[in-house]
Structure 1
Amino acid sequence: MEILLENKGSKHIALGKGRFFFVSMAILFPILVALGFVPDYQLIASGQIKVHWFLHVHGLIMTAWLGIFLAQSLLVANGNVKRHRQLGQTGFILGILVWISLVIITVRALIVNNPPEADGQFDILFIQLQGMVLFGLFFAWGMWIRKKNAAAHKRLLFLATAILLQAAVDRIRFLPGLQNALYIRFLYLDLLLIPLFVYDWISLKRIHLMTWFGSVLICAVQAGIVVGWGSPVWHRFWYNSITPWVERVIEVKLSTAQSDQLIGNYGDAKWHLTISSTAGKLYMQLPGQEKLELGAASDTSLFVKVTNWKLNFVKAPDGKVTKLINDQIAFVWEVPKMR
């Protein structure tokens, strides 16, 4: 039988020693979030990363959701079902705000960043949509059946909360292989599902249907993302979809004299990039990496055609370029031209 206090019609199942399973997981979730996002917030606080104010609002909403998930787990674990239901009304409103904030940051990032068609932001959109769709499904379903099936209700909200942690997991820098392959990122998130299977087996002597359904659905969506990652069709669809809402950069043709002024190395002995010209086209190259073709918005402003990276050149009064300002949306930094 279930170990947590659950409502089945007019009957309640007694509390047992396993009632703190969901409490334990609700404590683990914020720890993972802190491991992923605290380093980013340190960079924000130091001014190395610049973000829009709504990202702070989004972070506050997500933190509040983790807090209410923990509070609700504690209330049920201690048998306070009445207070759990009262707080559930607040949780319902907060869950809606979580979903709305996911939509806002996703749409805003596409429109404000205005990435080129080949940019990786369209691939990241896969993961953002995964969070929006699966959280929305699990949350809405969980709230709908909360009075009819408490066992399914708590598992659905567990799954809804777990899927939100992908962004945090992706930022935990010390996890081995995180940058090597996309599926590894998903595997780390999926590790959070294993304790739920163990809990089901110990408490029910079987795996709950909602645990199976949610886990299979998450893995199926993840597999689809891995297959579709980098799809030109996907990139083109979303690039064309946002075109009516953004102002596209108009590329201009630079003369040979204008291009020659920009050619050279920028940075210092520790880090530098090279601007070069081949067959009338400008390229940027980092040490040990392939060349990236550049387009020109003006005689002092270039942009990388395959990613969202703008290069703004600063000239001295004599017309010679003295430094380069790199603009990668959240990161803006300048480097001198090397002599």
Structure 2
Amino acid sequence: MTTISRTTAAGVRPDVLSGDRTAFIDRWIYVFTAASFIVIVLLGFIPDSLGKMAAVQAGQRPPFPWVLHVHAALMGTYMLLLLTQAWLVATGRVAQHRLLGAVGAVLAAALVVVGFILIPTIYHQAFAGAQAAPPPVKAQLAQLVAFLENITLVQGRIGIVFAILVILGVSARKTNPGFHKRMMILSIAGALPAAFDRIIWIPTTMPVRPLSSDLYVLLAIAPMFLWDVFRNRRIHPAYWVWLAVVAPFTIAVHTLWDKPAWHAAVKWLMGV
């Protein structure tokens, strides 16, 4: 018996064509997600940084502390490495991907350490400026200090959650590559609020509450998540783990945001 396969005009079977498209998205969805994170960061930080540099040159604000430059360099390098790692896997260069993995682990550890140095550095700079400012400016800077006290909640969450998720992701690199690649991307997604809060042309709930930036993070990971659900007909365990880690800290952020007890706690922690 002869079986005649249906083909397209190009002579390619529809199921093969569909399979090629699926395989293509399977490979490149992570590259797309990592690249989109970089675009988000650039949209937020480039205009903000240019404005702040102009203010420094005009003598309207103090120079950036050294640790801020280090943090920016580390974060930029890490995000470029994340994109490179996703691209290496998508193009089948697994050996190079594994080789760069050690560099990523060192960068991640450095990011956490520098991040927790940066938080009190920025706070003390603003607090000292508020104390030394003349009366007309003092009230404005006091509001800035109060805002920074709220922001420490988000910054602390970013640092802790990032460290936990990176450890989980790195631990699974040999035993569960699917969990590993998703977790490494989800780990850096938690840092995107810092960029979203600086994009002045999108709707925001800040400084009243940080709800908008949390929702934008969900939007940023939506393409990867939705493709996973469509492709596998289920939610991958990596997302459940991510939710279990992120949810308690997010609830804490929204519960403590702008509460007098939290402001007092930050002042005590900062020794002011």
Which residue of structure 2 aligns with residue 121 of structure 1? 148
User: Within 2, Cα distance between the matches of 1:181 and 1:95?
Assistant: 28
User: Are 1:192 and 2:200 counterparts?
Assistant: no
Give, in angstroms, the shift of residue 111 of structure 1.
3.6
- Aligned residue runs from structure 1 range 195-214, under 5 A: 195-214=223-242
Pair 1:219–1:187, CA change in 2 (3 A): farther
Which residue of structure 2 aligns with residue 252 of structure 1? none
Runs of 4+ in 1 over 6 A off after TM superposition: 115-118
Contact 1:134 1:163 survives alignment (8 Å): yes
- Structure 1 residue runs of 5 or longer lacking an equivalent are 1-14, 247-339
Give, in angstroms, the shift of residue 219 of structure 1.
4.2
Give, in angstroms, the shift of residue 216 of structure 1.
4.8
- Structure 2 residue runs of 5 or longer lacking an equivalent are 1-21, 129-141
Which residue of structure 2 aligns with residue 132 of structure 1? 159
TM-score, normalising length: structure 1: 0.63
User: Within 2, Cα distance between the matches of 1:221 and 1:70?
Assistant: 27
SS at match of 1:223: helix
**CA deviations over 1:52-88 (Å, ceiling 9, x no partner):** 1321221111000010000000000011111100011
Higher strand share: 1
User: Are 1:144 and 2:186 counterparts?
Assistant: no
Aligned counterpart in structure 2 of residue 71 of structure 1, from 76, 80, 84: 84
SS at match of 1:206: coil
**CA deviations over 1:27-53 (Å, ceiling 9, x no partner):** 111111111011122123322553213
User: Within 1, Cα distance between the matches of 2:218 and 2:248?
Assistant: 12
Structure 2 residue identity aligned to 1:32: I
Higher helix share: 2
User: Are 1:235 and 2:263 counterparts?
Assistant: yes
- Aligned residue runs from structure 1 range 20-169, under 5 A: 20-46=28-54, 47-48=57-58, 49=61, 50-114=63-127, 119-169=146-196
Which residue of structure 1 aligns with residue 138 of structure 2? none
User: Are 1:16 and 2:23 counterparts?
Assistant: yes
SS at match of 1:16: helix
Contact 1:170 1:178 survives alignment (8 Å): no
Which residue of structure 2 aligns with residue 304 of structure 1? none
TM-score, normalising length: structure 2: 0.78
Contact 2:209 2:257 survives alignment (8 Å): no
Give, in angstroms, the shift of residue 99 of structure 1.
1.0
**How large is the RMSD of aligned CA atoms in angstroms?**
2.1
User: Within 2, Cα distance between the matches of 1:178 and 1:233?
Assistant: 22
Give, in angstroms, the shift of residue 161 of structure 1.
1.1
Contact 2:33 2:224 survives alignment (8 Å): no
User: Within 1, Cα distance between the matches of 2:263 and 2:176?
Assistant: 41
Contact 1:193 1:215 survives alignment (8 Å): no
Question: Greater relative contact order (Cα 8 A, min sep 6): structure 1 or 2?
Answer: 2
Which residue of structure 2 aligns with residue 330 of structure 1? none
Percentage of identical aligned residues: 28
Structure 2 residue identity aligned to 1:77: A
Give, in angstroms, the shift of residue 181 of structure 1.
4.4
Structure 2 residue identity aligned to 1:16: A
**CA deviations over 1:128-176 (Å, ceiling 9, x no partner):** 1010111010011111121111111111111111111110011010002
Structure 2 residue identity aligned to 1:101: V
User: Within 2, Cα distance between the matches of 1:98 and 1:241?
Assistant: 21
Contact 2:45 2:198 survives alignment (8 Å): yes
